[in-house]
């Protein structure tokens, strides 16, 4: 009896979780305007997407500060900062962690690009990048390349943190070759 109750509870929880995940918004499509936002960075200062109009933006969502995959991904973006700068691109990381968590993460890991705190989940939802497991919510590992006009030009939803920065740099180079006027 107790075992069947436990199995029923697990089944209901799994169904509820999958239902919540099913109704998450979809990612912005290539060619659409990137959803605008303003979030606080690890420095506690507001950062808006519109602040970067005229630049290429790599907007990456990640699950959690201080976890192994997220740390590896952040280190790779940090390592490649000179290449992003050379391409006129800025990297912005977003998770649902707090500004204070981001500040500690950046200090511990030596990160000098902006990490943005989406504590109310609105930006993660707008970008179809919120995983909702009922009581636990976190940003999905998604990345968007946004061109200088503010349009989404590339979407990554199957991200391997080991090699993601390199694949973003390749995609960015290809996109810039295709539209040299927007560099």
Region 14-31 average pLDDT: 57
Q: Which active-site residues does the annotation give?
A: 70
The domain ranges of the chain are 26-182
- Can you identify the CATH homologous superfamily of domain 26-182? Glutaredoxin (3.40.30.10)
Coil/strand/helix, residue 77:
helix
Region 8-35 average pLDDT: 58
Region 136-142 average pLDDT: 92
Mean pLDDT estimate for the chain:
87
Region 135-155 average pLDDT: 95
Give the per-residue pLDDT at 5. 37
Residue 115 to residue 112: CA distance in whole angstroms: 9
Cβ–Cβ contacts within 10 Å for residue 10, how many? 10
Strands 114-117 and 89-95: parallel
Residue 138, beta-bridge partner list = 131
Residue 17 has pLDDT above 80, yes or no: no
Residue 40 contacts residue 46 (beta carbons within 8 Å): yes
Which burial class, exposed, middle or buried, applies to 79 when counting CB atoms under 10 A from its CB (0-12, 13-18, 19+)?
exposed
Question: What is the token pair recorded at 121?
Answer: 């989940």
Residue 24 to residue 64: CA distance in whole angstroms: 19
Region 61-68 average pLDDT: 94
Give the per-residue pLDDT at 7. 35
Instruction: Outline where DSSP puts E strands in the chain.
Output: 38-41, 46-48, 56-61, 89-95, 114-117, 130-132, 137-139, 143-146, 152-156
Reported as a pLDDT band with limits 50, 70 and 90, residue 179 is confident
């Amino acid at each position: 009896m107790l075992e069947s109750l436990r199995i029923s509870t697990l089944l209901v929880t799994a169904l509820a979780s999958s239902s919540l995940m099913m109704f998450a918004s979809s990612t912005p499509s290539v060619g659409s305007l990137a959803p605008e936002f303003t979030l606080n960075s690890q420095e506690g200062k507001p950062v808006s997407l519109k602040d970067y109009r005229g630049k290429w933006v790599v907007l990456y969502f990640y699950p959690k500060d201080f976890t192994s995959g997220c740390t590896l991904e952040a280190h790779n973006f940090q390592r490649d900062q000179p290449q992003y700068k050379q391409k006129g691109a800025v990297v912005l990381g977003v998770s649902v962690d707090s500004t204070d968590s981001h500040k500690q993460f950046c200090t511990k890991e030596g990160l000098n690009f902006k990490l943005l705190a989406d504590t109310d989940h609105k930006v993660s939802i707008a970008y179809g990048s919120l995983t909702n497991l009922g009581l636990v919510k976190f940003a999905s590992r998604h990345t968007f390349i946004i061109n200088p006009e503010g349009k989404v030009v590339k979407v990554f939803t199957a991200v391997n943190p080991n090699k993601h920065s390199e694949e973003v740099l390749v995609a960015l180079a290809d996109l810039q070759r295709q539209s040299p006027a927007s560099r």
